[in-house]
Amino acid sequence: MSVKPALAGSRVVITGAARDFGRTLAIQFARQGAEVLLSARTLEAAEAVAEEIRALGHDRVRAYRCDTGDPASVRSFAGELRAHTDRVDVLVNNAARYLAGEDLLSVGDEDVVDTINSGATGTVLMVKNLLPLLRNSPRPDIVNMVSVCGVPQNHRSEGHDAYYAAKSAQAGFSEVLSKRLRPEGVRVISLYPPDFVNHDPLSERWESADRTADAMLTSQSVAECVLFAVNQPRDCFIRSFHFEQV
């Protein structure tokens, strides 16, 4: 007797899914049997990942354009999702612009605004616009990919001050959201990883990567934390994952 994949029949929205860890999550959720609704700043970039997923034999995937730093784009994306489905089971807020630089004056004002909007404002607006669809789900989960930069007093990342600001805001929003949505059965799961190696899930390195105690954290382990959390029974509310830095 064949066994159904763990997330068969579920609908998962992933923002910032065109590259890096967002792409990794999109592929891994598809492998778990989920319908993947992925977005990126350009439709072409999102569709490229959707094609990779289809090539693996998973046809339940759709690509959308969404710039999380633009409120009108978030509203448009939410409208397209509502036209396609009456529910969302998992929302993964992964989209966020990374900005490097330890000198506050090293970047322009527009870079600061875009960084904070894409990560912090975008997460709030995405939840606000998709919450009705999540409330229609029997198993609603919100997964926020924060960062160690959102942990109080952390200063080990080379991220710009604006990136720290964005991630701290995202962390604060996640905390209050978890408490306020708990009575409705909506789980809010936040991850605070340090820098990690993002191996291509379609490459040989995915299976052969060094995952020993003295190795750098891998995307395999971070993705497994996400999948572990959303697959838990509904009485299990895992609020956050924190990781030791090497």
Task: Round the average pLDDT of the chain to a whole number and report it.
Answer: 94
pLDDT at 33 over 70: yes
Res. 4 pLDDT band, cuts 50 70 90: low
pLDDT of residue 129: 98
- Check residue 137 and give its pLDDT: 97
Domains annotated for the chain, with CATH where assigned, are 11-242 (3.40.50.720)
With tokens 């409705």, the residue in question is: 184
Residue 203 confidence (pLDDT)? 92
State the Cα torsion 237-211-18-50 to the nearest 10°: -90
* Measured distance CA(178)–CA(142) in Å, rounded: 9
Residue 155 to residue 90: CA distance in whole angstroms? 31
- pLDDT tens digits, one per residue of 39-94: 999 999 999 999 999 999 999 999 999 999 999 999 999 999 999 999 999 999 99
Structure letter (DSSP) for residue 216: P
Residue 169, pLDDT > 80, answer yes
Q: What is the pTM of this model?
A: 0.94
List Cα–Cα distances, 219 to 28, 153, 200, 224, 244, in angstroms: 11, 24, 9, 8, 15
Residue-wise burial string across 151-161, b where 16 or more C-beta atoms lie within 10 A, e elsewhere = beebeebebbb
Helix axes of 20-31 and 43-55: crossing angle, nearest 10 degrees: 40
How far is residue 127 CA from its own chain's centroid? 12
pLDDT at residue 225, as a whole number = 97
Dump pLDDT digits (tens) for 101-145: 889 999 999 999 999 999 999 999 999 999 999 999 999 999 999
Note the residue count of the chain.
246
How would you class 134 by CB atoms within 10 Å of its CB: exposed for 0-12, middle for 13-18, buried for 19 or more?
buried
Residue with tokens 């616009």: 129
